[in-house]
Amino acid sequence: MKKNSEYLLSKKQAQQKIVALTCYDYPTALLEEQAGVDMLFVGDSVGTNILGYQDETEVTMDDIVHHLKAVR
């Protein structure tokens, strides 16, 4: 189920917790969706955790876009 800003706002207004997890790939995205996670983050930590960079400042927009495509 795709969740949009209205869904998140309704959870906030109902004082329900919003669950968000980091995700870098398709299999993890599927598992997180099946677990009921509300929101997935693809952040610059992909550089150090997946791509082997020394720090997050090495991450390019192309790196982020590549992993966003894998997650969606």
* pLDDT < 50 stretches in the chain: none
pTM above 0.95, yes or no: no
Question: Looking at residue 3, what is its pLDDT?
Answer: 82
Is the sign of the CA dihedral 51, 69, 40, 63 positive or negative? positive
* Domain range annotation of the chain: 5-71
With vertex at residue 2, the alpha carbon angle to CA 48 and CA 12, rounded to the nearest 5 degrees, is 85
Question: What is the DSSP secondary-structure string of 9-55?
Answer: HHHHHTT----EEE--SHHHHHHHHHTT-SEEE--TTHHHHTS--SS
Question: Looking at residue 1, what is its pLDDT?
Answer: 59
CB-side neighbour CA atoms (13 Å) of 65:
3
Question: Looking at residue 14, what is its pLDDT?
Answer: 97
Question: Looking at residue 48, what is its pLDDT?
Answer: 96
Question: Looking at residue 70, what is its pLDDT?
Answer: 92
